[in-house]
Amino acid sequence: MKNFFRSFDFPLMEENIDKDDIKVVIDFIKKLPRLTSGEKVKLFEKKWSQWLGVKYSVFVNSGSSANLLTIAALKIFANKDSKKRNEIIVPPLTWNSDILSVIRNGFKPKFCDVNFSNLSMNLEDIKKKINKKTIAVFLSHIQGFNALDAEFINLLKKKKIYLIEDVCESHGASYKNKKCGTFGLASNFSFYYGHHMTTIEGGMVCTNDKAFYDLCCSLRGHGMLRESPFPSIIKKNIKKYKDLNPQFIFVNEGFNFRNNEIGAVLGINQLKKIDANIKKRNKNFIYFKNNIDSTKYFNNFDVDGISNYAFPIILNTNKITIRNKFEKYLNKFSIEFRRGNAGGGNQLRQPYLKKILKFDKKNFKNVEHIHFFGYYIGNYPSLSNIKLKKLIKLINNFKY
């Protein structure tokens, strides 16, 4: 456990909240404002929607809450359809909240293997797994890589399958100059400290669908009618439920996923810097990709539309002895790392899933390799060129 709390020469993240962010928050608090969800939250949602390119956004208390809220809303939104179609295609390389949100809402997760080139689900494998029971694909854009192509998007539209995009660690990634998170029914983002921008803890659900947006607003706030942003909907339902206090009409089974004004103030200020930070991260990544030793590490990553989150490392070996030697080497030179890449590797190996389903390793060769021989290490805007070159030299000097 020591490694999680030690100080590293090459950390996963550095200075994601700066002095300017702290000043903005302090100046706001000095005004003695209301700190629960209010006008600043609404402003942040508006500014985020404008930056992303969607009509509506719902600020919540975490990216995991965004996942759960989205699938809960989907269950209601597609109520009649969801009784016939109860399968959602999900990646095995993602955060566990994607999969748990599917299970907890009564859907069945169906898994596909991933690619090395973008760490996301193999689109050909998705096509094979689609059937009459498929209601949605929950697609994760991993570590800043775009996971979409035109044929896949058109296939989902043709078969009337909902696309949910997890963009929690890929803010600003794009496909054909359009940001990821704008292609499906809904998308999820995380503003955890280590991501492209932060509200300390926080997340966002985004959509262009008015009815879905209304559902998400209600579900975020206990399922209450008064959480609706649309007066006409509130008025209609007050007439419908005349026996209830208009302030306390719980139209849905909801949660308390609301965030607060401090998080919104921080998010608004962070949003001013996100484009410049993405540009610097991408510059770092391209240099890293082009200079790591391809005889030791996979480096044929797809950089189209990238918004890099961290430097991925995939060892060109399947020997555990070399893997263990590599980890000792990283620790020796104070390089912080996470094995398994996103979410710690293959979710199908995790205890919570092993209790309810089995998987054949032959069908998941790529995610299995990443689980045992894949890593990510830190890339952040303040990483200097000198330090980046030193990092690459250290990694390349590792001897198999």
| Tens digit of each residue's pLDDT (9 = 90 or more) over 180-199 | 999 999 999 999 988 999 99
Can you identify the CATH homologous superfamily of domain 2-12+274-396?
Aspartate Aminotransferase, domain 1 (3.90.1150.10)
Task: Tell me the CB-side half-sphere exposure of residue 361, using CA atoms within 13 A.
Answer: 6
For the segment 81-102, the average pLDDT, to the nearest whole number, is 92
64 close to 205: Cβ distance less than 8 angstroms: no
Nearest-5° angle of CA 387, CA 389, CA 394?
Answer: 95
Strand extents, DSSP E, the chain = 56-60, 87-90, 108-111, 134-140, 162-166, 174-175, 178-179, 186-190, 203-207, 310-314, 337-339, 374-378
218 close to 60: Cβ distance less than 8 angstroms: no
* Residue 352 pLDDT exceeds 90: yes
Mean pLDDT of the chain: 95
How far apart CA 307 and CA 356 sit, in angstroms, is 35
Going by pLDDT thresholds of 50, 70 and 90, the confidence category of residue 79 is: confident
Going by pLDDT thresholds of 50, 70 and 90, the confidence category of residue 109 is: very high
Nearest-5° angle of CA 279, CA 280, CA 282?
Answer: 65
* Residue 5 pLDDT exceeds 80: no
The answer regarding whether domain 19-271 maps to CATH 3.30.70.360 reads no
Question: Over the stretch 32-61, which tens digit does the pLDDT of each residue have?
Answer: 998 999 999 999 999 999 999 999 999 999
Q: Which two tokens stand for residue 178?
A: 């359009």
* Residue 62 pLDDT exceeds 60: yes
* Residue 210 pLDDT exceeds 60: yes
For the entire predicted model, the pTM comes to: 0.95
**Domain layout of the chain by residue ranges:** 2-12+274-396, 19-271
For the segment 237-255, the average pLDDT, to the nearest whole number, is 95
Largest Cα–Cα distance in the chain? 74
Q: Indicate the residue type of 105.
A: N
Going by pLDDT thresholds of 50, 70 and 90, the confidence category of residue 341 is: very high
**Can 2-12+274-396 and 19-271 be said to share one CATH topology?**
no
Task: Tell me the CB-side half-sphere exposure of residue 57, using CA atoms within 13 A.
Answer: 26
* Residue 227 pLDDT exceeds 90: yes
270 close to 197: Cβ distance less than 8 angstroms: yes
